[in-house]
Amino acid sequence: MRYSLEIRKFIYSQYFFGGLRIALGVSLPAILMLTVFHNRELGFTIATGALGASVVDMPGPLKYKHNEMLACTVIGFLSALATGIASANAVTLWLSVVPLTFVLSLIVVYGNRWPQISFATLFMMIVTLEEHFTPMQALVNASWILLGGLWYTYWATFVSRSLVYRIERQALAESVFSCAEYLLARSEFYDLDANLDECYRKLIEKQIAAVERQDAARDIVLRNLPKLRSGKLDARRVMLFNLFINVVDLHEMFVGAHTDYPLVRNTFGGADILIFYRDLMRKAALDLEDIGLAVLQNRPARARINVKAELRAIEYELDQMRRHGVPQKNPEAYSAVSSAFRRLWSATRLIDKMRRRTRHDPSVTETEIRVDPKLSRFVSSRRVPFMQIFSNLTMASPSFRHALRVTIAVGVGFWLGRLLPLTNAYWIVMTTVIILKPGYSLTKQRNVQRIIGTAIGCAACVGLILVVKNPHVLLVAMFACMVMSYSLLLFNYTASVVFTSAYVLLMLHLLAPGGMRLIGERAIDTVVGCAIAIAASHLFPYWEYRLMGKQVRDMIAAMRNYLEASWWWTGKPAAQAEAKSAADANLFADANAATAEAATAALARSEAGEAELATAEETSSRSVLSETGGETGGVAGASQSPVVSNVASASAETAISDRSSPATRTNEAITVRQTDPVSATDTPGATYSAAPVKPTDAATTRTPGQLATRREPALAETSGKRSTTASASKKKTVTGESAAATAKSGASAAAAVAAEALDSDFRYRLARKNVHIAFANLAQAFQRMMLEPKAQQKFVPELNDLLIRSHVLASQITAAGPLLQSVGKSAAGHAAQPVQRALTVIRDNLTQAQEGVPVPDDQAEQSKLLTRELDSMVVGAERAEDIPADAVQDLKLLAHQCKQMLTASLLIRKDASLINLPE
């Protein structure tokens, strides 16, 4: 581990930045009240409101964070007011605290930041329990808490708005770092000393982390995209948007680099090629970490780490295998070891591109994919269905059970606090609320972490107080502990508790020096609160396996949708497809080539401006969605793969953005792409071929031919005036109108093609995002289940195998996309039928797996038949004289991927049929 790099990553990260912001926002009111007005109690009250609002101050879109902190402040004010008014009498206090605790705990049903709002409002209620107020005093106290919450809300909003680009860079850098960690985990598969099961476990953990970081970055980056529609594009935001698209695509390349590792290890265990693969991935991961750090520090990335030696060594090893006849002797093993090479080669190219993007070139305003309102599909809705709380008033709701547990635990903790001779009895209730989570496994995990962290924090605080006598040094240490406490909260809870205990005890020592009694009470309160929380977690438990049945089906459905979005389905059975072999042969290339040519030709005749094009695209998009039945419809409605539709989309946008001359369009490097970069960089030496999109100039830049077309009606009218007969004038005018109508019709058709291609690409990317999120949700649920009692762990082997096979299948679907495009261009007639049938069987296996249908007895024979068809397809392509050698190799790799997908889908179906979890 490079410790200097880790330290810099932390110092520039969103965690340390957020911790510093929270520490300053919470402590400033207390310091002001203490030093200026000499009112310690008032300072603590205002700081209580600020601390409550700070709980919701987590990384996310600024607009929603402001609204959530405001809601937290208002609800906290009402809870503190109700508790303060009821504090005059013990009976009224109990009658208020119990229902208020239940309601505040139940609002977790709204999701998003509402669990944090629930805890923050409970915190504001709990700190008021020990007071005895008159109604007017309760109103004044709650008003000061409200003021503290409002202060922090607008303090955090001001700081975040002032540093909005820094926040985006931090979220993006976290995504880059998680991608590098995922690549390091995948490199372990090529280390013969590493256990495969342990490698898969680490890989799934890193996949979950990568999906979470990408989702967080997506939520921030894409929600800021409306600023790009104002006409003039901000170069900084364009750079961040492009980097985000590159990171997502790069992660997909790494996912698609999966291969049959047991076969590779058994066949090439003693060969150097495995070492070269491992070193190549590790170097690329280090390169990515440097790029992420450059994004954090807002500086250009350093010189690249050279990976040419590893690339050339792998090429040499593959060449030696070909010379020794390995592809003929063991074609499956050769395909397995060679299939990942091109994707890793393309990944290194994309990493170089990302490095160049960190140079902050203000002249670059083109985006990787077109900025379109349809990008809103990729961000989740933050609307709050307020009536949802009433539908959860049942024991079938996990949130309802959680609210009951919290209410009982708070009541018991409050009662014990009154019985025990403690100075701050509410610490017991506070500890209980902090630890008690909706799931048993999270409560158990937090319980252990809380006890360990508190013990270490108390011991460290005692040692510091005994050694350091200078109060100014202790004050600095207290503030440093405060910053670290909030900085570590999101990713290292145990360390966060250590610093929290230290800074709270240091603060109490500075206010009342000379007493060690509070330190002991802090430890006692923590132990009692943890005991209450772990006991309450066994009340009305809702074990994790009860939620996993739906998650299993959702993941399989998302996998099927991803498969359909990656392939242009015709919806025809295999028998009908055989009867129409000529049409199916064109499935790969002819239709898409014709579409691209039509788009380019039509747009070359276009005279319409950007506004007209946008209207046509919107109309076309609605028609496409109505025909397909939604964004991720069935097989009959699934659109083309973005890999296939990239030709039409890139050609259409090229024609719009650059109409100066064909030579200019040919020579310019690509800056706008509509799909995974592998489609453009799949083969070493490939170059990009689309021109940058410049919407503001699209209506003004035209070729001479287009200008002539535009002037044609006017020329015709002039000619008519100069003519000696009225019939000649009328004829020329009609001719001009006809030409204009033809140009408009061509523009509309081209716009429709471009819109359909863009919609297809977005549908693919959305399906890819959904399958990763569904996989992460199931994997996290499985990890939580494994922390629960053994008796509540259901179908562990089947779920573990299902997770592994699902990640493998997603990787193979990702890897097959570029091969489908490559084969479609050069060997469509040889590949259409076998590949179509194989993909249909894979889709059917996933459909049956979602319904829990067992594998039929003759499935093995069907798989063997499909395998023989794929092998015959490859043999036929090798004997054909009209197919290039590169296309034959692509066909072999595609056949290998189809076989692997068939096996994976069959195993997924088998596991799903054995898993019988409740809905």
The 3 state secondary structure assigned to 183-244 is HHHHHHHHCCCCCHHHHHHHHHHHHHHHHHHHHHHHHHHHHCHHHHHHCCCCHHHHHHHHHH
Average pLDDT of the segment spanning 181-190 = 95
Residues 430 and 51 sit within 8 Å (Cβ to Cβ): no
* In contact, 154 and 55? CB cutoff 8 Å: no
What's the rounded Cα separation, in Å, for the pair 70 and 77?
11
Higher pLDDT: 599 or 323? It is 323
What are the pLDDT digits (tens) for 54-90? 999 998 888 889 999 999 999 999 999 999 999 988 8
- pLDDT for the residue numbered 71: 95
* Domain match, 603 and 674 both: yes
Report which of 170, 200, 231 is spatially closest to residue 20, judged by C-alpha positions: 170
428 C-beta neighbours (distance < 10 Å), count: 29
The CA-atom distances, in angstroms, between 472 and each of 479, 498, 830, 855 are 11, 21, 80, 72
Among residues 736, 751, 758, 705, which one has the least CA distance to residue 612? 751
Tokens of 218: 């997506």
Domain assignment present for residue 168? The answer is no
**pLDDT tens readout for residues 430-468:** 999 999 988 888 888 888 998 999 999 989 998 998 898
pLDDT of residue 170: 94
DSSP 670: P
**480 and 602 fall within a common domain:** no
**What are the tokens at 614?**
């946008």
Residues 657, 752: Cα–Cα separation, whole Å? 16
Q: Flag whether 201 is in a domain.
A: no
- Identify the band that residue 232 occupies on the pLDDT scale cut at 50, 70 and 90: low
| Model confidence at 1: pLDDT above 60 | no
Token readout for 893 is 């790799």
Sign of CA dihedral 742, 747, 748, 750: positive
- The 10s digit of each residue's pLDDT in 480-532 is 999 999 999 988 999 999 999 998 888 888 877 656 677 788 788 888 999 99
Closest CA to 810 of 558, 640, 641: 558
Q: Kindly state whether residues 536 and 673 are assigned to the same domain.
A: no
Residues 366, 480 within the same domain: no
With 0-12 / 13-18 / 19 or more C-beta atoms within 10 angstroms meaning exposed / middle / buried, residue 591 is middle
Residue 391 maps to a domain: no
In a domain, 919, yes or no: no
The 10 Å CB-count burial string (b at 16+, else e) for 822-851 is bbbbbbbbbbbbbbbbbbbbbbebbbbbbe
In tens, the pLDDT along 746-781 reads 667 777 777 777 777 888 889 999 999 999 999 999
Identity of residue 721? K
Whether residue 241 is predicted with pLDDT greater than 60 in this model: the reply is yes
Q: How confident is the model at residue 827 (pLDDT cuts 50, 70, 90)?
A: low
Q: What is the DSSP string of 754-795?
A: HHHHHHHHHHHHHHHHHHHHHHHHHHHHHHHHTTS-GGG--S
Q: Is the pLDDT of residue 116 over 80?
A: yes
Nearest to 506 by CA among 16, 19, 27, 11: 27
Are 499 and 416 in a shared domain?
yes
For residue 226, tell me if it sits in a domain.
Answer: no
DSSP states along 6-32: HHHHHHTSHHHHHHHHHHHHHHHHHHH
Segment 863-877 shows an average pLDDT of: 88
Q: Residue 550, exposed/middle/buried by CB under 10 A (0-12, 13-18, 19+)? A: middle
Domain C-terminal end among 511, 542, 573: 542
Spatial distance between the Cα atoms of 183 and 288, rounded to a whole number of angstroms: 10
Q: What angle do CA 609, 612, 616 make, to 5 degrees?
A: 135
Measured from the Cβ of residue 421, the count of other Cβ atoms closer than 10 Å reads 6
For residue 690, the one-letter residue type is A
For all residues of the chain together, what is the average pLDDT? 79
416 lies in the same domain as 534: yes
Chain centroid to Cα 116, Å, comes to 21
Task: For residue 95, tell me if it sits in a domain.
Answer: yes
For Cα atoms 383, 387, 389, give the angle at the middle one, nearest 5 degrees: 100
Domain boundary among 490, 510, 542: 542
Predicted pLDDT at 828: 57
For 383: left if phi > 0, alpha if psi spans -120 to 50, otherwise beta; the answer is beta
Q: Is residue 455 part of a domain?
A: yes
* 818 and 907 assigned to the same domain: yes
Residue 240: closest CA among 224, 221, 226: 221
Q: Is 418 in the same domain as 332? A: no
To the nearest whole percent, how much of the chain has pLDDT over 70? 78
* DSSP three-state, residue 610: helix
| Domain carrying residue 272 | 173-192+233-375
Residue 316 lies in a domain: yes
Burial class (CB in 10 A: 0-12, 13-18, 19+), 386: exposed
Q: Which helix (H) or strand (E) holds 863?
A: helix 859-879
Residue 865: which H helix or E strand, with range? helix 859-879
- Per the listing, tokens 């989309």 go with 649
As a whole number of angstroms, the distance between CA 125 and CA 100 comes to 9
pLDDT tens, position by position, 377-434: 888 777 888 889 999 999 989 999 999 999 999 999 999 888 887 777 788 999 999 9
Specify whether 640 is located in the same domain as 775.
yes
- Per-residue tokens: 105: 């705990």
Distance between CA atoms of 184 and 287, rounded to whole angstroms? 12
Sign of the torsion formed by the C-alpha atoms of 899, 901, 905 and 907: positive
> What would the pLDDT profile of 258-302 be if each residue is shown by its tens digit?
888 999 999 998 889 999 999 999 999 999 999 999 999 999 998
> What is d(CA 636, CA 572) in angstroms, rounded to the nearest whole number?
8
User: Do 584 and 670 belong together in one domain?
Assistant: yes
pLDDT above 50: residue 350: yes
Average pLDDT over residues 314-324: 93
Measured over the CA atoms of residue 195, residue 198, residue 202 and residue 207, the dihedral's sign is positive
Half-sphere exposure of 753 (CA within 13 A, CB side): 29
pLDDT of residue 728: 44
Name the token pair of 63.
Answer: 């607009």
Q: Count how many domains the chain has.
A: 4
Q: Which two tokens stand for residue 779?
A: 């994997």
Query: In a 3-state reduction of DSSP, which class is residue 64?
Result: helix
The predicted model gives 890-897 an average pLDDT of 87
Residue 825: predicted pLDDT? 62
Q: What is the mean pLDDT of residues 168-195?
A: 94
Tell me, what's the pLDDT at 112? 84
Q: Residues 455, 576: one domain?
A: no
554-582 pLDDT, tens digit each = 999 999 999 988 875 333 333 333 343 33
Helix axes 273-297, 3-11, angle to 10 degrees: 30
- Contact at 8 Å (CB) between 753 and 595? yes
Query: Percent of the chain beyond pLDDT 90?
Result: 47
Range scoring the smallest mean pLDDT among 317-331, 638-652, 722-736, 860-874: 638-652
Determine the pLDDT at residue 235. 81
For CA atoms 888, 889, 890, 895, give the dihedral sign: positive
Looking at 162, 183, 215, the residue that finishes a domain is 162
Phi-psi region of 852 (alpha: psi -120 to 50; beta: other; left: phi over 0): left
**pLDDT at residue number 602:** 37
The listed range with the strongest mean pLDDT (173-182, 607-616, 721-730) is: 173-182
Kindly state the DSSP code that residue 378 receives in the 8-state scheme: G
Query: pLDDT at position 751, please?
Result: 76
Amino acid at 692: P
* Residue 355 sits in the same domain as residue 403: no
Total residue count of the chain as it appears in this document: 919
Query: Which tokens is 729 given?
Result: 């004038």
By C-alpha distance, which of 441, 506, 453 is closest to 783?
441
- Give the Cβ contact number of residue 229 at 10 Å: 11
pLDDT over threshold 70, residue 801: yes
- Mean pLDDT (whole number) for 189-208: 93
Q: Which residues contact 589 (CB under 8 A, 6 or more apart)?
A: 824, 825, 826, 828
User: Under 8 Å CB-to-CB from 520, ≥6 apart: which residues?
Assistant: none
**What is the tens place of the pLDDT at every residue in 624-676?**
333 333 333 333 333 333 333 333 333 333 333 333 333 333 333 333 333 33
The CA–CA distances, whole Å, from 484 to 9, 145, 323 equal 15, 24, 59
Burial 602-638 (b: 16+ CB within 10 A, else e): bbbbbbbeeebbbebbeebbeebbeebeebbbbbebb
Q: Which two tokens stand for residue 192?
A: 């013969």
Tell me what pLDDT residue 829 has: 59
Q: Hunting for tokens 């064109």 — which residue is that?
A: 586
